[in-house]
Every structure is written in structure tokens, then in C-alpha cells.
Amino acid sequence: MDFSWMAWTWPTAAFFLCIFALIAMMGVWEVASPGGSPRVGVLRFETTRGDRLFVSLLGSAFICLGSLFFFPDAQLWWALGVCLVFAGLVFRFI
């Protein structure tokens, strides 16, 4: 496929496809287990699965931006690993 009409690159398209896939998986999870059992985590306010997904995506964006700022010549693969660990911790403790 040619994404040049939007000046997209394959990594950009993959990024948005991953976001779409995450939202679709959350929809399937919600259908399979409605309600999401809101819970109170370390932040001491009630969150649902969707809230935790939003927090993990927002935090991952800041992790990647911070890695680009502090380590401009480094690859982003290590930042991806940090993002996955961060998302796991958010879903477990928040």
C-alpha cells in the first residue's frame, strides 16, 4: 500500500493499527466480561480497564518522547520495552 498521499510511513501506520487493535481488544474483553470490575489502586481513585488503557497509552507516549529527548541517537526498541513494563504495572497496580 502507498501511504504517500498522507506522508505516512509504515511505522506510523503500524502505530495507529496497534492503537486500533488495542481498542478492539478492549471491546471484545468488555463483551466477554461486562463492567470491567472497577477498582481502587495505588492512586486511590476508582479506575476501569479503559481508564488503565488510557493511562498506559499516555504514559507510554511520554516515555517515548522522553527517550527521544534525552537519547536522540538511540533506538526506540528499549523504550518500547519500558512502555510494555509500564503498561503491565498500570494494569496491575492502578
pLDDT in tens, 42-87: 888 899 888 899 999 999 999 999 999 999 888 888 998 999 999 9
> Taking 80 as the threshold, does the pLDDT of residue 35 lie above it?
no
Residue 3: which pLDDT band, with cuts at 50, 70 and 90?
A: low
> Taking 80 as the threshold, does the pLDDT of residue 6 lie above it?
no
Q: Where are the domains of the chain?
A: 1-34, 45-94
Distances 84 to 7, 8, 33, 35, 60 between C-alpha atoms, Å: 28, 24, 23, 24, 8
Q: Are 43 and 54 in contact (CB under 8 A)?
A: no
- Give the single-character DSSP code of 7: T
More confident residue, 62 or 34: 62
What sign has the CA pseudo-torsion 35, 37, 40, 43? negative
Task: Please give the model's pTM, rounded to 2 decimal places.
Answer: 0.79
